[in-house]
Chains A and B, each alone.
Chain A
Amino acid sequence: MSFWFWHGLRKGIQSTRYPLGIEDSPGVSPGRPVNTDFSTVEEAQRAADICPTGAIVAHDRSTYVNHGKCVHCQRCLHSLQSPMNWKAGYEWARLPANQTESLPLPSPFAKSMHIMVVDAGDCGACLHEVKQLNNPLYNMHRLGFFFTPTPRSADLLLVVGPVSENMRGPLLKTWEAMPTSRKLMAVGSCAISGGVFGKSFMCAGGVGQVLDVDFEVPGNPPPPLAILHGLLVVAGRKSLKSPEPILKGRS
């Protein structure tokens, strides 16, 4: 079996340099629409109208994007005569709308954080992107982040999915089972706003409807680096105000 060992070594280091450097391989992030100034009021209104989840709000000739609602249907990019501006990048973590400040975890946790992931009705994309953090290309462990199978030793509860009714109980139980000094991070538009599933008899319409969220990572799904950024923010190793690197323009 030793050939596996050599096979592994031969590949060399594949992990991204983020957060020490910038990751700019093609395809690490799908980008997202950003606030755009149009030349006419009608164009702005059309952009707002085409958005199926109401993530784009038009005001005069400008449009503003609520990324927590954006489901990345690309209609404002491909189905409009004058499309919205899209910007690449992945440092997307943010505070929930109803919160002005969330403290990161206390400093002893900064170097090592154990993460409990709960799938509360996720479509598989966000969960898959979370799973990719264990991929050698991202290799979350080098930063001291670990997934843990039990909430008893978890510092962060990472929730994906809009919280289906059948998962509401298990989600609450998981949160209760965690020791205090815990943080909750909602990952993906569904976890933030319900996404395409919205609010219904079967969907709570976001984790915020059930528990108090400390941090959010918008995106449908947010790419692994965006989730990594969120984790760094929760651990207090990145501030939310850090300027977003512009990697490639697409307008």
Chain B
Amino acid sequence: MALITGASLIAFFFVCAAAVLFSALLGRARIPTVLASAGVLAALLMVLMSITVLVTGQPFNAALWTLDGFGSFTIRLDPLSSIFLLISGIVYFSASLYVGSFLKRHGDAAYPSLRYTSLYFALMASVVLILLAGDTPLFLISWECMSILCFLLINYDPIRQSDKSAGYIMLAMSEAGFLAVAVAFILVARFAADFSFSALRAAGATLSPQTMWSAFLLGFFGFGVKAGLVPVNFWLPRSYTAAPPVFIPVFAGITLNLGFYGILRLNADLMHTGYGAGLVALIVGSVTALVGILYATTEGDMKTMLAHSSIENAGIIVAAIGAFLVFRAFSEPVAAALALSAALYHIVNHSVYKTLLFEGAGHVEAATGTREMDQLGGLAHLLPGLSVVFLVGCLAISAVPPFNGFVSEWMTLQTMLRSAVLTSTSVRIVFALCGAALALTAALAVTCFVKTYAMNFLGFRRGAWELRPESKLVSKFPMAFLAIVCLLMGILPTYILPLLNEGVAPLAGASITTALVQPFFTATPENAQLPPAFLQDFHNLGAQAGRRFIPGRGLVVLLRGGAANPVVFAMSPSYSIIALAVLFVVAWFGLRRLTRHRTLTRRPVWAGGIPRLLPLLTYTGTGFSNPVRVVFQAIFRPNIVEDTRQTVAAHFRTAIHRKREETHVVDRLLLKPVGIAVEWVANFLARMHHGKLNAYVTYVLAFFLLVLFFYRGG
């Protein structure tokens, strides 16, 4: 097996290099084909690598070379990185096909160039290297490469000279994050034998609380920048909005995950943080989720909305990671395993459906020339295929069964309920509050994506755009593939969880599959008081059903509370989908039978008897989400910058103009005061430096006196 992994690894880098070479040789016209085929091949190799590791459960190790002073560069593919590699493979598979088809059909001559291909594959290689890195130097170097490549890709837009500052802001934030991460690693490495992760892991278990907290906070900040956590995520909506549509799937589906990978690697794997760190992550995650979804719901630009939604999902994931850290610190391995698998499941889900939605959004933008939901509408008739796959994405992200979002959000909320096992009341209160915030987030997410789908695909076309005919030719396969992944992950969680378990078990100290299913069904002493027939039933239902047809686990995710709260939580999207399908079929045949003699008459839309229903008489996206804006006015604090009424003949209104401006709540509450403070200090310092000699002499004297004062006793 290790041979296969190693061979695919070599093949992967070879394919990346070959793609660049071929695009240089074959010329512009062939670049989309080269990019798509090489990308697909590379993605498949990623999947192969990760699957071999996940199935065998054996990490893959290789030493590259040794540098004096740094130790040796090593490559290590353990189950945790394999999970992220698997996601990257799935996303790259779809993204490469999408980019290829998109560029081919839309024929933007400026996109397909050698530079473009090089950047694309360089980013791919750096991402894989980050995940493969077995020691700090390699990790940091490839992380830095990834940051710079991201910046180059965002500002790589030869056609639309759009917001260049977005790229620079992102670069600045990434660099700040990188520095923090580097310091965090060095803090841990001070106590380690060398820079390899295994040495760090050994040292991480024995850190003093101060070092632990410093490393945690620095690492959490540094990786939080990439993951899009409050308050360091202001770069994210801007740069996602500015980035060319063909790249965003890569950002949203892959580089965002690296933030979670970093957090997990540093705080869960290398160090053993206390529960305080977990609470910080939990609170930051919940706040991020709520703030993210509030701004997503009220946002009118489709790309910006999806970016805010990414922030929301990052919040949910980090909240689950925080719960994992807390449970682990309290030595509750089962709950910790549940929390971590919820987080990992959600990471996979989010990458899949967010890639799908961003691809869809890019497609809509290319087809119509606008991203404004107030302008769009009625696309379901114009692009029916896209409408179906986009609907799947919206349902999945809204956590509607039978799609995958439901599974991970269910597990995340179950995790929050699991806090009942904790002994500390204050921690339980924090869990309860965060759980409420996450539940509110889930509800708002539904509003947000009902709006997104309804305003873009249903109703009338509101703006003055025309559908570009060539957009119909863009392949829907990459999106359909992801939609199918969404469905499969939604209906077969019992097959996905064992894969994730490989990554979860070493970190949590408990196996998720045994934690979720086995103890309840097998005749453990704990279950001895339950009637055997009952146990047998559940055993068959949960663990054995389907075993005769398909190799694998049962179709029910079951979860039994501890001794204090022995409630059974159960979920089976697999059975739900079967029941739903049966119901649909029965209902369909029943209806057909009932109405076989009826004729169907189509009548115009009822609009209260007005002459015609015009697009401007129907809801806009802004109007749909305005109730949310009104309810959460305390957070949005709209600032009315214009409210004018024009009249003629003193009385007749001819125009009413109103304009609102909103400052993001994080900018308003955190960044603005910091900015003002920095400016004030800078001004103060500037006033001190006015070039008068006697003043400088006074400063020196004052400093001298100060030093004397402090050291008078010494």
Contacts and interface: CB of A to CB of B under 8 A. Distances in A.
Q: In the complex, is A directly touching B at CB under 8 Å?
A: yes
Interface of A: 150-152, 169-171, 173-174, 176-177, 180
B687 to A, nearest CB: 64
19 contacts: A150-B606, A151-B606, A152-B606, A169-B609, A169-B611, A170-B608, A170-B609, A170-B610, A171-B609, A173-B604, A173-B606, A173-B609, A174-B609, A176-B603, A176-B604, A177-B603, A177-B604, A177-B606, A180-B601
A152 B602 CA distance: 12
A30 B10 CA distance: 99
Interface size class of B (residues with CB under 8 A): under 10
B604 to A, nearest CB: 7
B606 to A, nearest CB: 4
Contacts of A170: 608-610
A177 B604 CA distance: 7
A152 to B, nearest CB: 6
Nearest to B599: A180
Interface string B600-623: 010110101111000000000000
B617 to A, nearest CB: 15
Contacts of A151: 606
A171 B601 CA distance: 19
* Chain A to chain B: the 10 pairs with minimum beta-carbon distance, closest first: A170-B609, A177-B606, A173-B609, A177-B603, A152-B606, A176-B603, A174-B609, A150-B606, A151-B606, A169-B611
A225 to B, nearest CB: 29
Interface of B: 601, 603-604, 606, 608-611
Nearest to B606: A177
A137 to B, nearest CB: 30
Nearest to A152: B606
Contacts of B611: 169
A174 B606 CA distance: 8
B170 to A, nearest CB: 51
A214 B375 CA distance: 46
Given A169-B609, A173-B604, A173-B609, 8 more contacts: A151-B606, A152-B606, A173-B606, A174-B609, A176-B604, A177-B603, A177-B604, A177-B606
Nearest to B611: A169
A180 B598 CA distance: 11
Contacts of A174: 609
A150 B603 CA distance: 13
A174 B609 CA distance: 7
Contacts of B604: 173, 176-177
A180 B609 CA distance: 18
A170 B611 CA distance: 8
A176 B603 CA distance: 7
Please indicate which of the listed interface residues B608, B609, B611 has the most CB atoms of chain A within 10 Å of its own CB: B609
Contacts of B603: 176-177
Please indicate which of the listed interface residues B601, B603, B611 has the most CB atoms of chain A within 10 Å of its own CB: B603
Nearest to A178: B603
A171 B609 CA distance: 7
A177 B606 CA distance: 6
A152 B601 CA distance: 12
B610 to A, nearest CB: 8
A176 B606 CA distance: 9
A173 B613 CA distance: 12
A59 B611 CA distance: 48
A34 B601 CA distance: 45
A152 B603 CA distance: 10
Contacts of B608: 170
A180 B606 CA distance: 15
Contacts of A180: 601
Please indicate which of the listed interface residues A171, A173, A176 has the most CB atoms of chain B within 10 Å of its own CB: A173
Contacts of A171: 609
A173 B605 CA distance: 10
A178 to B, nearest CB: 8
Contacts of B609: 169-171, 173-174
Please indicate which of the listed interface residues B601, B606, B611 has the most CB atoms of chain A within 10 Å of its own CB: B606
A208 to B, nearest CB: 20
Nearest to A150: B606
A151 to B, nearest CB: 6
A176 B602 CA distance: 10
B383 to A, nearest CB: 28
A164 to B, nearest CB: 13
A117 B609 CA distance: 13
A150 B604 CA distance: 13
A151 B604 CA distance: 12
Contacts of B601: 180
A176 B604 CA distance: 8
A150 B607 CA distance: 9
Nearest to A172: B609
A58 B535 CA distance: 92
Contacts of A177: 603-604, 606
